[in-house]
């Protein structure tokens, strides 16, 4: 069927079921690899064929920035 399914990234990334205290700045929340986390809880670049075309550029910039530290 021709069904369109959308996801509100803003709401999904602030869901307290997946991110305790979602509106609090806590960078350490990304350090642990929680295998119980829902796979679609955080999709900063989207997914599939319509994902962000700049994803690899952003990842390469991150690697360059870390290499210079």
Dihedrals φ, ψ of 27, to 5°?
-60, -25
Would you state the structure tokens that stand for residue 57, as one six-digit string? 């550029």
Runs of H (alpha helix) within 1-69: 9-12, 55-67
Query: Any binding-site annotation on 8?
Result: no
Q: 44 and 38 in contact (C-beta within 8 Å)?
A: no
Q: Which residues are annotated as a binding site?
A: 52
Q: Which residues are annotated as a binding site for heme?
A: 52
């Amino acid at each position: 069927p021709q069904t369109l399914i959308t996801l509100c990234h803003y709401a999904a990334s602030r869901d307290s079921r997946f991110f305790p205290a979602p509106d609090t700045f806590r960078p350490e929340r990304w350090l642990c690899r929680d295998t119980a986390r829902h796979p679609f809880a955080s999709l900063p670049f989207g997914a599939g064929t319509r994902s962000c075309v700049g994803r690899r550029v952003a990842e390469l910039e991150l690697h360059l920035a870390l290499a210079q530290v």
